[in-house]
Amino acid sequence: MNRAILHVDMDAFYASVEERDDPQLRGKPLIVGGTLGRGVVAAANYAVRRFGVRSAMPIGEALRRCPEAICVPPRMRVYQAVSAEVFEIFHDFTPLVEGLSLDEAFLDVTASQRLLGPADGIAAQIRARIRAKTALTASVGIAPNKLLAKIASDLNKPDGLFRIGADNLRTILDPLPVERLFGIGPKTLPGVRAAGIHTCGDLRRADEQMLWQAFGKHGEAMRQRAAGIDARPVVADTCDKSISAEETFQVDLREPRRLRAELIGLVDRVAGRLRAQDLRAGKLLVKIRRQDFKTYTRQRAIDPATNETGAFCRIAVELLDEWRRLQPQAAVRLLGCGLGGLQVDTGQADLFSAAPADSSPLDAAVDDIRRRFGSGSLTRASRLHGASRLHRGSS
């Protein structure tokens, strides 16, 4: 069966979420980004792109190009939640999902065609599901490889579907500006043009001298890209996007010390799992479900990312206490803790971070004892303290 790769790209993602949530913004030039002096454009909707405004542009420059643009600050938690909904849809169609960012991914649907039909139909279903669930649009490129799928998704934006295959490969690819190819950016482009290469067709037909002048030793690899050749597989995300644990209590809890103690136990559990996978976390989330089943979440970014239980405990307890101040009498039937923003632990601290993110020697000792004698061999004193205070108070 021929490979069938999709590149799904949400249309002006951050800006589209803002327009969805505030209909008064629709159709107006909209910038999502820092609104103060040194802020940059995180996203721009299509109305403002017509003025040349692009992502990563300084806000000052963007407003000079479009003085009437509306600027709103980013709401990353909202975008992450919508992204999770979109990726859940992807996984309904194939396990081979390679996320590139919050708003785009490659999907290998080769095997899925046996059950779900041709790739064109799968792509149409994905777009329809995204629109129904999120009220947002996505553009999808369909091709036999990742290179062509990514090019295709950009050829019919926004809210478009485009296929590149053997029947139209040369017709579509040859006339495209050569800068559409990955690896040819603003710094490389002048030299490429100076060598007489302006389109993908020029690059595909270039002789050895032109290739060497433009790309040096990478000339042949670039020519293969211009010919639409790309053997890279879709690499499914191998580590969990988050690590979490939760506990439903047999008796609803109100007592603050017991709630903190139970939460610390959950943090301890997920932190150990994090270190076992040689990961660090850049985000912590606390989940709270009341007696009436109403569920709340509170989360906080962690910079630099860490794997230290003590740091996670402090943040988790702070989030729980913030929630309790708003409803101090609420009875809690479930607590949960999740770690996200996972990164591979290289063992090296971030040179630019304000503080080191080294693992705690205590955590290392606790992990070693639990590996040798079982997960129940050690319990943090803060848990016992909370439980014992509750016991004495209720006797």
Task: List Cβ neighbours of 181 (8 Å cut-off, separation of 6 or more).
Answer: 147, 200, 203, 222, 225, 226
In the DSSP assignment, the letter for residue 216 is G
325's enclosing H/E stretch is helix 309-326
The tokens describing 10, both together, are: 């949400």
Compute how many other C-beta atoms are within 10 angstroms of the C-beta atom of residue 135.
13
d(CA 318, CA 260): 10
In the DSSP assignment, the letter for residue 179 is G
Identify the burial level of 253 via C-beta atoms within 10 angstroms of its C-beta, where 0-12 means exposed, 13-18 middle and 19 or more buried. buried
Inter-residue contact 5 to 146 (CB < 8 Å): yes
298's enclosing H/E stretch is strand 295-306
Inter-residue contact 86 to 130 (CB < 8 Å): yes
Nearest Cα residue to 366 out of 272, 245, 262 = 272
Question: What does the longest C-alpha to C-alpha distance in the chain come to?
Answer: 88
The tokens describing 40, both together, are: 């940059």
d(CA 279, CA 359): 11
Identity of residue 388: S
d(CA 97, CA 325): 41
Candidates 18, 19, 98, 104; catalytic one: 104
Q: How many degrees, rounded to 5, is the angle at CA 27 between CA 26 and CA 31?
A: 80
Q: What are the C-alpha distances in Å from 376 to residues 313, 363, 379, 387?
A: 19, 15, 7, 16
Q: Determine how β-strand 161-163 pairs with β-strand 138-143.
A: parallel
Inter-residue contact 54 to 45 (CB < 8 Å): no
Q: Give 6's strand partners.
A: 107, 142
Mark whether 322 is an active-site residue.
no
Q: Which residues are catalytic?
A: 104
